[in-house]
Structures are given as C-alpha cells and as structure tokens.
Amino acid sequence: MRFKTFAVLGLLSVAPLSASVEENVPQIVDLFYDLRFQQAIQAARDLRERFPEYPAGAFFECVAYYQLYLLEDPHQPKTFDQFMALNQKAFEQALTLEPSQPAISHYYQGAALGFQARAYIAQKKYADAIPKARQGVAHLRKALELDPSLIDANFGLGMYYYFLSRVPAAAKPFAYLMVGMKGNRVKGLALLHQVMENGRTARMEAKSVLAAIYGSEREKNWTESIRLYRELMKAYPHNPRYRLKLEYCLQRQGLWKEAMDTADADGLWTQELDPLVRQRAQELARYRTLENLLFLGQLPPAAKYLDALETSPLPPLLQEWVGLRRGNYLEAFGQRDRAKAFYSKMKHKKTRRLANEFQKTPFPQGPRDVMPSHWPVSNIPIE
C-alpha cells in the first residue's frame, strides 16, 4: 500500500545544554531557513567542534545538507550522502547520551529518525520510511514523557497527527499499524500552534508548516496563510518560497494588484538569492505577474512578460502554463482560432481542464484559476 508518512524536523531543548549551545542553535536554524547554506553548514561544524559530546552540531549540519539537496536540480547523490552520514552521527551521539540525559537522547533519536523518514519519502522509498517514522514517534513520546518542557518535540508529533489525518479512510487502519498512531487534525494543528507560540528553535518551522497547511487546497484558510507568509518573508528575505507562496495565496483571494506588488518581478530582490534558486525564482515571479496583469485586464504590460517567458528556457510544466496564458491573451483580442491552437497543446490535467473551460467560455470571462504552487521544495507535500 502506498501512502505518505510525514516526519519530524526535531529541534533542541534548553535545559541540559550549556548556554553557549543554546545561543548558537537559533542562528544556525535561521541561516538554513534563509537558504544561506554555506554559512549554516560552517556554523553547525563550529558547534560540533566546540561541543562534540552533543548531537546538535551534527544534526543541524545534516538538516542544512538536506534542505540543499531538495533544491538541487538535478539532485546530487553526494549531497544526500553527506546528509545521511551526519544524520547517522547525530543519532549515534544521541544514543551515548541516554544514560546521563535520557530525555535529550530520545529527542535527538526521534529527530534523526524522523529526518531519515523524510528523506526516504522524498525518494519515494516508502517501505524504508515507515519503520523510521514509527521509531521516531516512539522516541519523541518518550522524550516528552521524561521532560514535558521539551515543547519543540511537539512539532514532530503535530506533523504526524495532522498528516496522518489526511490518509484516505480505507488506509487509516494500515497507517496506524505501520506508524503506531492515529491521525487527528485538530490535535495536530493545536500542537503546531503551541510550538509556534511557545517553542524555541522549532518556532519558525512550525510557522512555516502552518502557513503551508492553511494555504493548501484542503484548508483554504487564505487569510491566516497570508498573515504567516508575510512574517516569514520578512524574516527570511533570501528564501523565495515565502514570497512566492504569499503571492499565490493573495491570488487565491483575487487580490491581483497586491499579488503583483508582492512578486516585484522587476525588483532587485532576486539578485540577492543563492544562484541555486535565483533563475527559477525570477521565472516564477514573472509568470505570476503575467497572470495578475491578464486578470487585471492590463494587456500591453502582460505582453512584455509573455514575450520574455516564451523566449526563456523554462521547465516543461511552466512552458505549458505560459502557453495557456498565450491562448488567454489571444482570446482577449478575439483571436479564437489562434488561441485554440495553444489550448490543444495542453497535456497536464490542470492546464488541460482550464483549456477546455476557456474553449467553452472564452477569456476574459472564463475561470480565474492560477498555476498551483509547488516550488521551492519544502518537503511539506500539501501545496
């Protein structure tokens, strides 16, 4: 049976650690959320060297490598191997802490196993992911049993509760047997909110996950998602995910002008991005601006972005969406036959459905639907 089990970004508690470790961990977390990978990796290495008995340095270094791996196109096996080696090191270090600091030991064991499950899910190796997820749940529960002040551990459990609640009804008994817990949407969201409001290093990750959940097709709580994405975009200006997701949620509310201003397609913000994501972020900002201009009825400026996108080397799916919008543009000028030639090329489910609807109800009277938001990759597979 194929279903997805969602794993934990387990993070760190204060009590058993020195003040020096606690002061450095949030800085590392902020660096890799802001996609400043080399700085994050170096900061984690420094922490590992200063506190070799604790798993914090190895764990956060492995997280940085994993986030880097997700954004690579194509994915690099070397990056994944570095992630797995550091993850295993963190797990082994956590084991050695069990006699003296059992709560922290279980916490990091759960975190490491949860991230292994995430990695296997990203590679569609579900049989490998399930036992890791089950063991991760057990360790997180044990950590909280030993030390209820480990609020950040509730982030992982909140993820499990929420995403297991999304498993199809027929599969729920199997999900319980494999993972060892039942899904619970309300409980999952409550735990994530608790971490966002009272956690330490997992606060921003909880906020990121909640923004994605509320901005999903399942929840459609666009107002709350917009609020959270605004805060995240301000906190992490080098991570285009938050700006692009904010724009998408504004579009879903029909706020075309505000969405266009957020994209700032001709602004300098993309120049400050890591080269790993810069070009794709520019392409998506321009595409979203094209959609917004078309829906605002501003055809001459829309043509500028349409022409530029059509002459760019885009990924195949984005090319198809640009083709759909070329058909819309032509229809706006009454050129139905030319528009139909573009509509007939649609292959993917969403673009094909919209093309069929536009053939029945020509643009601009047709559906005001927008391209789904699937990038940058967050490994939160709900958007």
Q: What is the pLDDT of residues 129-163, one digit of tens each?
A: 888 988 999 999 999 999 999 999 999 899 889 98
- Whether 31 and 78 map to the same domain: the answer is yes
Q: What is the pLDDT of residue 10?
A: 37
> What CATH number does the domain containing 353 carry?
1.25.40
DSSP notation for 294-317: HHHT-HHHHHHHHHHHHTS---HH
- Whether 240 and 136 map to the same domain: the answer is no
The reply to whether 177 falls in a domain is yes
Q: What is the pLDDT of residue 377?
A: 55
The reply to whether 270 falls in a domain is yes
The reply to whether 31 falls in a domain is yes
Q: What percent of the chain has pLDDT over 90?
A: 73
- Whether 41 and 183 map to the same domain: the answer is yes
Is the Cβ–Cβ distance between 290 and 306 less than 8 Å? yes
Backbone angles phi, psi at 180, to 5 degrees: 90, 15
Least confidently predicted of 7-11, 25-29, 82-86, 345-349: 7-11
pLDDT band at 170 (very low <50, low <70, confident <90, very high): low
- Whether 166 and 130 map to the same domain: the answer is yes
pLDDT band at 375 (very low <50, low <70, confident <90, very high): confident
Helices and strands, counts by H and E, the chain? 18, 0
How confident is the prediction for the chain on average, in pLDDT? 88
- Whether 45 and 166 map to the same domain: the answer is yes
What is the mean pLDDT of the segment spanning 324-334?
Answer: 97
- Whether 305 and 172 map to the same domain: the answer is no
The reply to whether 370 falls in a domain is no
* Structural domain boundaries, residue 192: 19-197
What is the mean pLDDT of the segment spanning 285-303?
Answer: 98
Residue at which a domain ends, from 179, 197, 215: 197
pLDDT at residue 344 above 80? yes
| Interval 71-124: pLDDT, tens | 888 889 999 999 999 999 999 999 999 999 999 999 999 999 988 988 887 788
Q: What is the pLDDT of residue 172?
A: 54
Three-state DSSP state, 328: helix
- Whether 44 and 171 map to the same domain: the answer is yes
pTM here is 0.89
The reply to whether 377 falls in a domain is no
Pair of tokens at residue 247: 């724009």
- Whether 167 and 278 map to the same domain: the answer is no
- Whether 184 and 321 map to the same domain: the answer is no
The reply to whether 72 falls in a domain is yes
Place of tokens 């070009």: 279
The reply to whether 376 falls in a domain is no
pLDDT at residue 2 above 70? no
- Whether 276 and 192 map to the same domain: the answer is no
CA–centroid distance for 331 within its chain:
35
The reply to whether 53 falls in a domain is yes
Number of domains in the chain: 2
- Whether 190 and 328 map to the same domain: the answer is no
- Whether 23 and 138 map to the same domain: the answer is yes
pLDDT band at 22 (very low <50, low <70, confident <90, very high): low
CA distance 20 to 24: 6
